[in-house]
Amino acid sequence: MALPLSQQTLAALGQDVGVPAYDRRRLRPGVLHIGLGNFHRSHMASYLDRLFTRGEALDWAVIGAGVMPADVRMRRRLHRQDWLSTVVDLHPEGSSARVVGAMVDFVPVASAAIVRALVDPGVRIVTLTITEGGYFLDPATGRFDATHPRILADASEPRRPGTLFGMLVKALAERRARGLGPFTVLSCDNLPGNGEVTRSVVVGLAERVDRDLATWIRREVSFPNAMVDCITPSTTARERELVSRRFGIEDAAPVVCEPFRQWVVEDRFCAGRPPLERVGVEFVDEVSGHETMKLRLLNAGHASIAYVAALLGYRQVHAAMGDPDIRDWLGALQEREILPVLRPVEGLDYRAYRTRIVERLCNPEMGDTVSRLCANGSARQPKFILPALRDALGRGLPVAGLVLELALWCHYCRVADDTPGMPPLADPLSSRLRAGAREAARVPWAFLGIREVFHDLAESPGLRRAFADWLAVIEARGPRAAIRRYIDQGDHRSASRQTSKAGSS
């Protein structure tokens, strides 16, 4: 019979479950994490748990916080089990479980309570996992949108902030007034230049509240860029049942994830930091090389297999990767069009990283879903595929495979909702995408005309021709024939000559 997870039941758990070997009563909070979901617990909380197991940095425990309805539910679940979480690493050869005890509290989901916690001088680092869509960025420019209604509301009523960025600004103002000094703000979201993005939002809002405060924040507060990586699916009844059956733990909010973890952080912390390098975190002067490697190989790789996998009837990622055509398609695209635009960075082995990605995607224990990879394409494509496309066009390099990926996405957007068993179109711009994809049956480049996604790419005649050609192949012969054609064309010289001129046609 499974035991309810709590501090009292830890000693009674099976020997195959790792439990905190440190005295959690000695922990003191030093990190406040906003957006406490599965990824934080599989990633940062696990690193801190390992550090505490060494008997080190016990004053860097985590307090959770959040502003969304889901945070209320998470707080309730974790409170009942003394803030403990079961983290299961899904190894292909067998899973392992550890109860992570790095968290010691969760602030009530209310603005005033969060600000009070942020003003506490013990909090020296504030970390964020609020998703890529939580940063109030203008989709056309990728920059801070100072005209967003919620930002305008916080600027007009800074004493009663409704956004977490308004709460950060208010807390920093109070710390400055009390002479407490600042905290570091560390984004753990999958955004290029996530530290700079966070800085632009915090400073941008502060400038609309108090220019002197904004100057102080710009000078005193650190916003390191970071690259984070650990595939962590959502928790469903399947995961809860696995933890109960396999490990004998009744956990209301367990986490399952891959065994791979990577965290690369710029070493800029204004109020100190725990020595996480002792448990595998990489601290560097500049993170952009690692970040670009992940975005272009892992994240763009996810995007590249997502839509063809859905169109070919696959529901799980590892099953799709077992299809030789999909696996060869991913390898050919990365070899011909992704690796050539990555600048060499000392210490980074792109091909070794790519090999590791394939191993990760093929892990059958993950149960990662194709529907997850297909969701939110209007946000993912501009971050993962279109930058590689623009870079290649600017350097006159091949882009035929990247254009094929866009054509596969277009075709998926047209047929997904009408095809039984296929993951439905789940996207904030679903109506625009569906309409554009259907119009593309008559005017192929209509899909590229969705400016919120593609901006000026539709103005390139060469790119439009290549896109239309691939759509015609998909329509006439199907998605498998399309990727097979790309694979079989070797170095694809003829198509490369056509499409590499797209930027100047």
The answer, yes or no, to whether residue 502 has pLDDT greater than 50, is no
pLDDT in tens, 450-485: 998 998 888 888 899 999 999 999 999 999 999 999
pLDDT at position 499 over 50: no
Tell me the per-residue pLDDT of 137-148, one tens digit each, with 9 for 90 and over.
Answer: 887 777 899 999
- Per the CB < 8 A criterion, the answer to whether 67 and 163 are in contact is yes
Give the mean model confidence (pLDDT) for residues 481-501: 64
Edge to edge, the sheet with strand 29-34 lists: 103-106, 61-65, 29-34, 125-128, 184-187
pLDDT, position 313: 97
Give the contacts of 150 (CB within 8 A, at least 6 positions apart).
136, 162, 163
Residue 177 — pLDDT band, cuts 50, 70, 90?
very high
Q: How many CB atoms lie under 10 A from the CB of residue 455?
A: 16
Position 253 confidence tier, pLDDT thresholds 50, 70, 90:
very high
Q: Which pLDDT tens digit goes with each residue over 326-357?
A: 999 999 999 999 999 998 888 899 999 999 99
Report whether pLDDT(392) > 90: yes
> What's the chain's Rg over C-alpha atoms?
24
Mean pLDDT, the chain, whole residue set: 93
Question: Average pLDDT for residues 76-96, to the nearest whole number?
Answer: 95
Question: Which helix (H) or strand (E) is 125 found in, with range?
Answer: strand 125-128
Note the pLDDT of residue 460: 86
DSSP E strands in 389-463: the ranges are none
DSSP string, 364-378: TTS--BHHHHHTTHH
| Structure confidence by residue, pLDDT tens digits, 153-174 | 999 999 999 999 999 999 999 9
For residue 494, pLDDT over 80 is answered with no
Round to whole Å and give the CA distance between 503 and 203.
Answer: 36
Q: Tokens 């995408």 label which residue?
A: 433
Q: What is the pLDDT of residues 283-328, one digit of tens each?
A: 999 999 999 999 999 999 999 999 999 999 999 999 999 999 999 9
The tokens describing 1, both together, are: 């019979």
Looking at residue 383, what is its pLDDT?
87
Whole-number Å distance between alpha carbons of 202 and 128: 13
* Residue 93 vs residue 11, higher pLDDT: 11
Residue 99 belongs to what H/E stretch? strand 96-100
365-380 pLDDT, tens digit per residue, is 988 899 999 999 998 9
Quick one: pLDDT at residue 96? 96
Over range 87-96, report the average pLDDT. Answer: 92
Residue in the structure block whose two tokens are 């966070």: 198
Q: How much is the average pLDDT of 227-244?
A: 93
The helix or strand, by DSSP H or E, that contains position 62, with its residue range, turns out to be strand 61-65
pLDDT of residue 300: 94
366 versus 104: the higher-pLDDT residue is 104
CA 143 and chain centroid, separation: 18
Q: Burial level of 181, CB count in 10 A (0-12/13-18/19+)?
A: middle
Residue percentage of the chain with pLDDT more than 90:
88
Provide the residue type at 404 as one letter: L
**What's the token pair of residue 505?**
């046609």
User: Quick one: pLDDT at residue 142?
Assistant: 79
Domains belonging to the chain, first-starting first, are 3-284 (3.40.50.720), 288-499 (1.10.1040.10)
pLDDT at res. 303: 95
Phi, psi (rounded to 5 degrees) for 445: -85, 5
Beta carbons within 10 angstroms of residue 174's beta carbon: 14
What are the two backbone dihedrals, phi and then psi, of residue 3, each rounded to the nearest 5 degrees?
-95, 135
Q: Which helix (H) or strand (E) holds 300?
A: helix 300-311
Mean pLDDT along residues 6-33: 97
pLDDT at 505 over 70: no
pLDDT tops 50 at residue 500: no
DSSP 281: P
pLDDT at 497: 34
Structural tokens at position 117: 């916690």
Sign of CA dihedral 20, 268, 379, 67: positive
Q: Tell me the percentage of the chain whose pLDDT exceeds 70.
A: 97
191: confidence class by pLDDT, cuts 50, 70, 90: confident
Give the span between the Cα atoms of 44 and 119, in whole angstroms.
Answer: 22
Given a cut of 60, whether residue 49 has pLDDT beyond it is yes
